[in-house]
Chain A
Amino acid sequence: MFESPSTLLLGLVTGLFFGFLLQKGQVAKYRAILGQLLFRDWTVAKVMGTAVIVGSVGVYALVCMGETELAVKPMRVAGVLVGSLVFGSGMAMLGYCPGTSVAACAEGRRDAWTGVLGMCAGALVFVAAKPVLDPLILSLGDLGKITLPGLTHTSPWLWIGGLVVAGVVALVATRRGA
């Protein structure tokens, strides 16, 4: 029923830092999320992009050292395609994503609390529909837990290097623009 106390504590500590950082990043705001979806305010992309680049270097280093294993979500074609489109529509309507909506609740925002209620309703309906949805999604193709380096038989460091270069180029370009 419960995972070990140390695992629960690690989750709490990880969450504490995550929530603190999201709030300090000012991304738990309607204007930040909508601004990003309208490609006008790039704060959300900067936070996510930096997190992905920094994260990829360390996590792949840990994998190479045998300290951890990748935990990749499967490429269930219909699930990911339809899910991402439904998710994006909901994100534009709510003005928060799941993590930032919880952070916005902590800021006291009433619309975020209502959004989280909607999220709870969405989870209940999804679980109720799962016995019908799961076989349908699987029948439309599951490519498994594939990664870009695995798919192309290339080194992950080639991709990570590409991400780092893209990040530096984006940083220099936006600095010049500003």
Chain B
Amino acid sequence: MSRNPLTRVQWSPHVVGAGIGILSWFAFATVDRGIGVTTAFEEAATMVLHALGLADGGWPVSGPTIGWEWTLLAGLLIGAWISARMSGDHSRETVPSMWAARFGDRPGPRLAVAFVGGFLLMFGARLAQGCTSGHGITGALQLAVSSWVFLVGLFVSGGIVARLMIGKKVGSHV
């Protein structure tokens, strides 16, 4: 294990969680907002459909705005890239081993399911107005009813679909 924590592959989940908690203090103290990921996607999609003349009004915030949520997304990509480069934990993997053990290592099925999964993920997040970050962390720490209900629903449906797909046997020895 590396002596320099920045080049280490994994930090304790409690250290990482505490860091994200403190980051939430920072976000609320500086912009009165909490960390969320999917709002910028909805704003960008609204702008695209407006430009194509396929949507009218219905801005998620107020008018077309490129704001804090957008640069947060850019920072997220860059920050994760820096961390992955410093620890050498990067891979061009297409088919994770746990998936391959169940469905084989052909990229086609994995990418097709990943695309559909991503579609449902975003559609569901915008229906509920939050994701694992916006509801799961930011909303839950504010003790919002919507966010705790969201967390229960997520684990019920996610648990059922994960069990149907991967099953009990496969994952346990990977």
A3 cross-chain contacts in B, Cβ below 8 A: 65-68
Q: Which residues of B contact A134 (CB under 8 A)?
A: 58
Contact indicator B129/A73 (Cβ below 8 Å): yes
The verdict on B158 contacting chain A, using a C-beta distance below 8 Å, is yes
Cβ-defined contact, A126 with B122, below 8 A: yes
Q: Which residues of B sit under 8 angstroms from A117, Cβ to Cβ?
A: 115, 118
* Cβ proximity bits B110-126 to A, threshold 8 Å, 1 near / 0 not: 11011111111111111
Residue B2, interface by CB 8 Å: no
B162 to chain A, nearest CB (A): 4
Q: With A98-B37, A102-B80, A111-B111 as given contacts, are A62 and B28 in contact (CB-CB < 8 Å)?
A: yes
Kindly state the separation between the CA atoms of A37 and B120 in the bound complex, as whole angstroms.
16
Which chain A residues in 60-84 approach chain B with CB under 8 Å?
62, 67-76, 79-84
Q: Return the contact of A31 from the options B32, B45, B48, B98 (Cβ within 8 A).
A: B98
Q: List 29 A-B contacts (CB under 8 A).
A: A9-B71, A10-B68, A11-B31, A20-B79, A20-B80, A23-B79, A34-B162, A48-B17, A50-B13, A51-B18, A59-B142, A72-B146, A83-B124, A84-B154, A88-B154, A88-B159, A90-B124, A91-B158, A92-B117, A94-B121, A110-B111, A111-B114, A114-B118, A118-B115, A118-B121, A118-B122, A120-B122, A122-B121, A133-B127
Please report A residues at the B interface, Cβ cutoff 8 Å. Answer: 1-3, 7-31, 34-35, 37-40, 43, 46-59, 62, 67-76, 79-95, 97-112, 114-128, 130-131, 133-134, 137, 143, 145-149, 151, 156, 159-160, 171
